[in-house]
Amino acid sequence: MNKEEIKEFEKWIDDHKSVLDRIGRKETTNKDIISFIHIIEENTLNNIARECWFTSNRNGFSPHENIDNILEYKYYLSTKIALIHSEASEMLEAIRINDFDNMVEEGIDVIIRTLEYLSCLKDVDIDKQLKKKMNKNNKRTFMHGGKLL
């Protein structure tokens, strides 16, 4: 981030202290801001997922840290899965009407929603799990499972 973006982010922090308080910050300092910027700049999936969640939370859509009841938490996660599905459906609709730009945008929305969902799961290292799953997939045989699609 350049100096202008950092200043804009600092202003955003000041304007949104109540949101930060709800996600567990008692007081936001410049050190917190710099730490957050470093997290964003390290483009690991874990950090991008945190940024996706942070944006969603900032906009009022992801209050999972305040959910203690297991049934409410399951409902919350199920809603997140439904939203991933809705973005995939919008991507399919874009294909059907030959809207390539929207297809790409909806595909990105699928990624954002998926990363946000994964960031809601405790102690999940997304980067590590992705590499593990890719390794598993690389070892599979051609058309494994005998499925046509």
pLDDT digit string, tens, across residues 17-56 = 555 554 455 555 555 555 565 555 667 888 888 888 888 8
Largest Cα–Cα separation, the chain: 56
Query: Is 129 a member of any domain?
Result: yes
Query: Is 89 a member of any domain?
Result: yes
Which residues make Cβ contacts (< 8 Å) with residue 100, sequence separation at least 6?
A: 94
Q: Which two tokens stand for residue 74?
A: 């399951």
Query: Is 27 a member of any domain?
Result: no
Domain with residue 101: its CATH number is: 1.10.287
pLDDT digit string, tens, across residues 55-73 = 888 777 776 666 778 898 8
Query: Is 43 a member of any domain?
Result: no
Per-residue b or e along 89-126, where b marks 16 or more CB atoms closer than 10 Å to that residue's CB: ebbeebeeeeeeeebeebeebbebbbbbbbbbeeeeeb
Q: Which two tokens stand for residue 137?
A: 């997939």
Q: What range defines the domain where residue 71 resides? A: 64-139
**Number of structural domains, the chain?**
1
Q: Residue 83 CA to chain centroid, in angstroms?
A: 12
pLDDT digit string, tens, across residues 73-99 = 888 889 999 999 999 999 999 999 999
Query: Is 123 a member of any domain?
Result: yes
Query: Is 53 a member of any domain?
Result: no
pTM for the model: 0.67
